Amino acid sequence: MPREDDETELHHSVGVTGGLKKQLEAAVAANETLMKENQELKQEVGRLKAQISSLKAHDNERKSLLWKKLHSNPDDRNTGSSGFVDSENGYPKPSFHELAMRKDRQLEAPKPPPPSSRSHQKEVNENKAKAPALAPAPPPLPTKLLAGSRSVRRVPEVGELYRSLTRKNANMENKSNMTTTPLLAFTRNMIGEIENRSTYVSAIKSDVEKQKEFINFLISKVQSATFKDITDVEGFVKWLDGELSSLVDERAVLKYFPQWPERKADAMREAAFSYRDLKNLEAEVTSFKVNPKESFNSELKKMQALQDRRACWNKV
């Protein structure tokens, strides 16, 4: 007895150590994969840092070019020629804020008045003599002052057009409300006619008329069917399904025959299906063999599944 206890404890300890060894190997493999992923992430971070540094350098270059362009602005040259900025005389150049203030002042300055009619006519005649006639320029947009001083013009034609359109829409709405109820009834009747005249319904009606004798023959066969062996039921159900497959729609056609024994036919089909399932289960159980290459747990699961199916059929 003590030797048997020692052997069982030894086997148990060996199994436990084997399981721990497998867990340790799985943990080591997972650790290796995590280290590889960490290395790849480090490389990706380094690559992104290099991209950020290159983008920063590019941004700095663009800023320097913009600063140079602002200093070498043509407005600065004009101001230098006018005497405000003179590098030859040794005056210091204005700062960026002074240039911005000068630009704002130039923008705020009022526009020059339009030329007189005589000078304008002379210029137009000279332009016509020099170049061919061009399309007329679009009219200038009104300024804020002119827009504020002028009043809004009212066009009576636009108002009349709007009133006529609103009247037409109101009349159309009234007509549509008056005709909604007869339209609904007409569409329902039309849908019913389409359904009655469809190819599907016509095919069912033709089966009912042409296959009447054949269906009555099947009804008599099902009503007089009595079996002692389940294999005969299976063969009869197979023959019945093959005969009914010639119809367009079995359920739709048999609705026109109230004497059809639907419950008996369904019961025979259910019995035949159960018999086939049991035969398949028997074949699986008899052909089951333990595969030594697969694990012991997988084989036990297969056996348990077959046992559960058998227990379900025993309950039935």
**Do 185 and 261 fall into the same domain?**
no
Indicate whether 217 pLDDT > 90: yes
The span from the CA of 69 to the CA of 160, in Å, is: 58
Nearest 5 degrees, angle CA 107-CA 113-CA 116? 155
In the 8-state DSSP scheme, what is residue 107? Answer: H
Q: What are the C-alpha distances in Å from 238 to residues 142, 151, 228, 235?
A: 92, 93, 17, 5
**Do 184 and 244 fall into the same domain?**
no
**Do 12 and 53 fall into the same domain?**
yes
- Of 14-28, 29-43, 282-296, the range with the highest mean pLDDT is 29-43
The span from the CA of 206 to the CA of 190, in Å, is: 22
Please, where are the H alpha helices in the chain? 2-71, 74-82, 96-108, 117-130, 144-149, 156-196, 199-210, 212-223, 230-244, 250-254, 262-286, 296-315
In a domain, 277, yes or no: yes
Collect all residues with Cβ–Cβ distance below 8 Å to 85 and sequence separation of at least 6: 76, 79, 91, 93, 94
pLDDT exceeding 70 applies to what percent of the chain? 56
pTM: 0.36
Say which residue, 70 or 120, is predicted with more confidence: 70
pLDDT grade for 259, boundaries at 50, 70 and 90: very high
Among the three residues 153, 176, 197, which one is the final residue of a domain in this structure?
197
Among the three residues 70, 89, 113, which one is the final residue of a domain in this structure?
70
**Do 271 and 305 fall into the same domain?**
yes
| 265 CB neighbour count, 10 Å cutoff | 20
- pLDDT tens-digit profile of 265-281? 999 999 988 888 888 87
Q: Are 219 and 177 in contact (CB under 8 A)?
A: no
Indicate whether 96 pLDDT > 60: no
What per-residue confidence (pLDDT) applies to 97? 52
Tokens of 186: 């007409």
Nearest 5 degrees, angle CA 108-CA 114-CA 118? 165
**Do 20 and 62 fall into the same domain?**
yes
**Do 9 and 49 fall into the same domain?**
yes
In a domain, 221, yes or no: yes
**Do 277 and 186 fall into the same domain?**
no
The span from the CA of 249 to the CA of 211, in Å, is: 12
**Do 302 and 275 fall into the same domain?**
yes
In a domain, 258, yes or no: yes
pLDDT grade for 149, boundaries at 50, 70 and 90: very low
Q: What are the C-alpha distances in Å from 106 to residues 99, 110, 111, 154, 174?
A: 11, 9, 10, 38, 63
What per-residue confidence (pLDDT) applies to 71? 75
Query: How many domains, the chain?
Result: 3
Span 33-37, average pLDDT: 89
Q: Are 248 and 204 in contact (CB under 8 A)?
A: yes
**Do 219 and 168 fall into the same domain?**
no
**Do 179 and 266 fall into the same domain?**
no
pLDDT grade for 201, boundaries at 50, 70 and 90: confident
Indicate whether 109 pLDDT > 80: no
**Do 179 and 250 fall into the same domain?**
no
**Do 193 and 282 fall into the same domain?**
no
pLDDT grade for 263, boundaries at 50, 70 and 90: very high
* Domain range enclosing 169: 164-197
Placement of tokens 């099947």 in the chain: 218
